Amino acid sequence: MTKVDISAKPSSRWSEFAIEAFIRVLGFSSIGLVALIFFFLLREGAPIFFETPPGDLFGARWYPTFDLFGTLPLILGSLLVTVTAIVIAVPLGVATAVFIREVAPTWTREVLKPMIEVLAGIPSVVLGFFGMTVVAPLVRTSLGVPTGLTAFTGALILAYMALPTLISVAEDALDAVPKSYRDASLAMGATHWQTIWRVVVPAARSGVVVAVMLGLGRAIGETMAVMMVTGNAARMPLSLDSIFRPVRTMTATIAAEMGEVAQGSTHYHALFGIGILLFLLTFIINLAAASTIFKRRRRGGLR
């Protein structure tokens, strides 16, 4: 019987080992990259904590030309725009997710999902451009404010940018609710509508929370669209009508001012310092979202 030569080739064993080692390195690269990013942000941003008394950094006036680096207006600006955006986006997003997943017939679903993917793909600068040229004038004329470039306009655009993430994660959460839950509810005589709101959505609660967290993270980090649409005035948004006035977010500040800044100057360090703050904020939000996901998976159940 002629045999296939099956003597072990020692070279192939080494190449298998080398390939696996190489792939292993690539696998660990993401940890290395996160560390690298944090390191370089610190490298360029840490000096600000020595050049300016920390109390001043949280002051209420951001006038870099006068060496005033109070970041409070920027932080509050980001907060205002982001929270408003989430307040707008969550009901819209959850309702849409419920509609797509629970109510819409298949053909409608097939049309809606690509449309939302289209929204996800529109570059933020294009949305900012649209916001500037179409939405802002609309806001100005319909609300009678001096300019349409306001926190509210920014929040509106931001809400729509966060929607695709929100909707898709919420959809997944609704999808994960076992059919048995729905069947049991219907078998007890509840209508589909009652089943949705009394059984399915509560069961998907934690998934929706994750969706909101991820949407929040997305919203805080958005740069171009808010920059083009919020008016870029680093004022403290303290009164109730501040929402209809210009503000400035942390992200827009970095983007707008970095180009004119001398490397190594205090202003430069301050901008990097804001970058560190943004990094930590999104890190915490993502950590919270991830731990919720992991906890859910380990428990194996729905809540």
Partner 1 sequence: MSPEPKIRIESVSYAYDGKSALGNVTLDVPTNAITVFFGPAGSGKTTLLRLINRLNDLVEGTRMSGRILLDGQDIYAPGTDVTGLRRRVGMVFALPLPLPASIRENVLYGPRLAGLQERTRLEEILTRSLVQAALWDEVKDRLDEPASALSGGQQQRLCIARSLALEPEVLLLDEPTSGLDPISTGKVEESLFELKRNYTIIIVPHSIQQAARVADYAAFLLMGELIEDRAGTQIFTAPRERRTEDYVTGRFG
Partner 2 sequence: MNRYMVQRLGYVLLGLITLSVVFPILLVVGTVVAQGAAAISWEFLTTMPHGGMKAGGILPAIVGTLLLTLGTAFAAIPVGVGGAIYLAEYARDTWLTRLIRLAIINLAGIPSVVYGLFGLGLFVLFLQFGTSILAGSLTLAIMTLPVIISAAEEALRSVPTEFRTVIISLGGTRWQSIRHVVLPQALPGIITGVILGLLRAAGETAPILFTVAAFYLPSLPQSPFDQTMALPYHLYVISTQVPGMPPHIQNGTALVLLALVLSMSVLATIIRSYFRRRRQW
Residues 66-125 that bind partner 2 (CB under 8 A): 91-93, 95-96, 98-100, 103-104, 112, 114-119, 121-125
Q: Does 16 participate in binding partner 2 (rule CB under 8 A)?
A: yes
Two structure tokens written together for 121: 């793909």
User: Closest approach of Cβ 11 to partner 1, in Å?
Assistant: 11
Site string (257-286) toward partner 2, x via CB under 8 A: -xx---x-------xx--x--xx--xx-xx
- Considering only 20-28, 59-67, 176-184, 200-208, which stretch makes contact with partner 2 by CB under 8 A? 20-28
- Considering only 62-70, 177-185, 198-206, 220-228, which stretch makes contact with partner 2 by CB under 8 A? 220-228
Q: Does 6 participate in binding partner 1 (rule CB under 8 A)?
A: yes
Query: What b/e string do you get for 233-248 counting C-beta neighbours within 10 Å, with b at 16 or more?
Result: bbbbbeeeebbbbbbb
* List 4, 26, 187, 262, residue binding partner 1 (CB under 8 A): 4
Between 4 and 262, CB nearer to partner 1: 4
Number of residues that bind partner 2 (CB under 8 A): 87
- Considering only 3-11, 165-173, 235-243, 280-288, which stretch makes contact with partner 1 by CB under 8 A? 3-11
Q: Does 31 participate in binding partner 1 (rule CB under 8 A)?
A: no
Name the binder of 272 from partner 2, partner 1, none, CB < 5-8 A by kind. partner 2
Number of residues that bind partner 1 (CB under 8 A): 10
Q: Does 248 participate in binding partner 2 (rule CB under 8 A)?
A: no
Site string (186-205) toward partner 2, x via CB under 8 A: -----xxxx-----------
